[in-house]
Amino acid sequence: QVQLQESGPGLVKPSQTLSLTCTVSGGSISSGSYYWSWIRQPAGKGLEWIGRIYTSGSTNYNPSLKSRVTISVDTSKNQFSLKLSSVTAADTAVYYCARDVYDILTGYYLDYWGQGTLVTVSS
Amino acid sequence: EIVMTQSPATLSVSPGERATLSCRASQSVSSNLAWYQQKPGQAPRLLIYGASTRATGIPARFSGSGSGTEFTLTISSLQSEDFAVYYCQQYNNWPPKYTFGQGTKLEIK
C-alpha cells in the first residue's frame, strides 16, 4: 500500500519561503504513470490544488500561485518537494501531498494522500 | 475556468436514511469527476472517480452518478462514520488545474 508523509517546518516567517517534502513509501515514485500533487486547506475552508510533478520533472501549477511555486522530485530518495516563496498569513494552511492518477476513461483524481502538515506563517 | 458548485452547504440526515449530495460544473466535464470524504483532522479520502466508480475499499452504500454538468453522490443508508464533509473535484485540461467544490457538510439530524 502506498503511503505519503509530509515533513517540514511548521512555522515560517512572512516574506520567507515555505519548504515541504513528501516521502513516498510502499512503492517507487517512478513506477507507473503517476503525477504527484500538493494541495492545501486553510483552517475551516476548502481544498486548493497547488501543483504537481511527473517523475520526468514535468510540472503543472495552479495559475493563481504559479509565480511563487516550485515543485521538484528526487527519485533516488522517493521524495518530491514544494517551495512557496514570499509567503504571507494567507498561506497558513494544512498542506497535503497526494498521488495523482490519470485514466483515459475516468480522468484525473487523487487516490492516496498524506496525513497533512500544518504550516503557520507568522513572525 | 470551470467552477464547481456543491449543494447544499449543509445537509442534516438521520442515521439509516439516504443522503443525496449534488455537484454542478459550470461547463461540461464529461464523466471526469471525483468525490472525496473528509473527517475532522484527517486527510480527504477518495470515494468515487470517473463519476461513478467506487475507489478500493469503499462500501457499496456510496454511489455516484451523473455526467456533463450535473453529478450526485448518494449514500444509501447513513452510518455514524459517514458524517463528514464531502468534496467534488474535476480537472481542467487547460490550463492544467484541479478544481474542488466548496464542500457539503453532512451532519446528524
**pLDDT digit string, tens, across residues A50-96:** 999 998 899 999 999 999 999 999 999 999 999 999 999 999 999 99
A→B contacts (Cβ < 8 Å), by residue, are 37, 39, 46-49, 60, 62-63, 96, 101, 103, 105-111, 113-116
- More confident of the two residues A105 and B22: B22
Q: Hey, are the CB atoms on B31 and A107 less than 8 Å from each other?
A: yes
The answer to whether the beta carbons of residues A59 and A52 sit under 8 Å apart is yes
What is the pLDDT at residue B95? 79
Looking up cell 470524504 gives B37
What is the pLDDT at residue A107? 86
What is the pLDDT at residue A37? 97
Of residues A49, A96, A105, nearest to B50 (C-beta):
A105
Residues of B in contact with A48 (CB under 8 A): 100
What is the pLDDT at residue B5? 98
What is the pLDDT at residue A31? 86
Q: Hey, are the CB atoms on A48 and B44 less than 8 Å from each other?
A: no
Query: B49-108 pLDDT, tens per residue?
Result: 999 999 999 999 999 999 999 999 999 999 999 999 999 999 877 778 899 999 999 999
Tally DSSP H helices, then E strands, for chain B: 0, 11
The sign of the torsion formed by the CA atoms of A37, A74, A78, A22 equals negative
